[in-house]
Amino acid sequence: MLIISSSYFKTKCNRALHIVYPDEVKSLTVNNGIKNITCQSHQVAIAGITNLTNERWDEFDLVMVHGNNNTKIKDYLHRLTHYIEQFKRTAEAKNKFLIFVDNAASIVSEKVLLVPRGGNAFINDISQSQNVDISTDGLGLTADQFDYDFNPKDTTDKYFKCLTYASKKHKIYLLSPDGIFSVNGQKHLLRGKIYLLHNDKMQQLSGDSVISADTLKGDLNIKKNIRPIRAIYKDEEINNQTEMLKEVKRDELSGNDS
C-alpha cells in the first residue's frame, strides 16, 4: 500500500529497502529516518545507481523513498522512474508498504506538484514562472497530487495562489508537518492533519471545517515565519507508528473503513 508522510516516524518490519538520492547518503535527516525503521535487515539503494532484480525487491515488506534537496528533485524523479513498475507492485500489495517521505511526495502522482514556498512563483492560463511545474509526468502512482509540511497559518500568498490554480486540474492533498496519509483503497488519515484543496475550496479532512480559499488569502497578509524548504528531523517529534501501520493493514485486508 502507498503511504505519504511529511516527516519520519518509527515503525517495525521484517526487511526494509531505503531509496536515497546520491547526495543524501550521508544526510543526518535521512540516516535518522533509516534508524527509525526497526527491522531484521535493510538495504540502502542509491537512486539511479542501485539495480535490484524483481526477486530481490520482493523480499522487502517496506520500501521507503527518502526526500532530497528541492533544487534536485527533477533529477531525483528521473532516477526513480527506473523503479516505477516495482513501486506499483509494492503499492498494490496489501501486506507491504511503499512510503514517500518529505518532498518525495511531490513527485508521486501522474503529474508533479513543484511549487516553491517563497520567492516570486506564479502560474496562470498564459504563463508561469520557471520554478513552478505542475505538468511534468510524475511517477504515476496516483491521480491525486500531494504537498507536504503544510500549515495554513504559515504560508505565503503566492505559494497558495499557485496551489489554488493547480487544484483546478487535480485534487491536492496537503499534509500537515506531522501528517501521514494512506492512499490506496480505503483512504486513511494516519496522523496529523490533512487538507483537500479542490476547485478553490479547502476542506480539512480531519474535521468538518470547510475553508474558503478567499478566507485563507485574507489571512496571508499577516507576517509569518516561513518554514524551511526541507523538513527538519526532530527526534522528540517522532512517534512510534507500528500499531498504526498494523491497523491500516488489517483495514485494507478486511475492506473496512477506518
83 secondary structure, DSSP code: G
Confidence of residue 227 (pLDDT cuts 50, 70, 90): very low
All structural domains of the chain, each given as residue ranges with its CATH number in brackets, are 2-254 (3.40.50.880)
What local confidence, expressed as pLDDT, does residue 202 receive?
86
Q: Are 58 and 98 in contact (CB under 8 A)?
A: no
Q: Within a 13 Å sphere around the CA of 222, how many CA atoms are in the beta-carbon half? A: 10
Distance of CA 152 to the CA centre of its chain: 17
Q: Residues 214, 217, 220, CA angle at the centre, nearest 5°?
A: 160
Q: Where are the beta strands (DSSP E) in 135-231?
A: 145-147, 172-175, 180-182, 188-191, 194-198, 201-204, 210-212
Q: Are 178 and 191 in contact (CB under 8 A)?
A: yes
Which 3 state secondary structure label does DSSP give 107? helix
Q: How far lies 13's CA from each of 38, 81, 101, 182, in Å? A: 6, 25, 17, 17
Tell me the pLDDT tens digit for each residue of 40-52.
999 999 999 999 9
Confidence of residue 231 (pLDDT cuts 50, 70, 90): very low
- Give the span between the Cα atoms of 65 and 103, in whole angstroms: 10
What local confidence, expressed as pLDDT, does residue 257 receive?
45
Task: Indicate whether 206 pLDDT > 90.
Answer: no
What local confidence, expressed as pLDDT, does residue 190 receive?
85
Among candidate residues 205, 221, 106, 201, the one with its CA nearest the CA of residue 153: 221
Mean pLDDT of the chain: 84
What local confidence, expressed as pLDDT, does residue 233 receive?
42
Lowest-pLDDT range of 31-40, 62-71, 91-100, 236-245: 236-245
Q: Give Dmax (Cα) for the chain.
A: 54
* C-alpha cell of residue 93: 500489495
What local confidence, expressed as pLDDT, does residue 237 receive?
44
The predicted model scores a pTM of: 0.83
Q: Are 190 and 112 in contact (CB under 8 A)?
A: no
Tell me the pLDDT tens digit for each residue of 81-125.
999 999 999 999 989 999 999 999 999 999 999 999 888 899 999
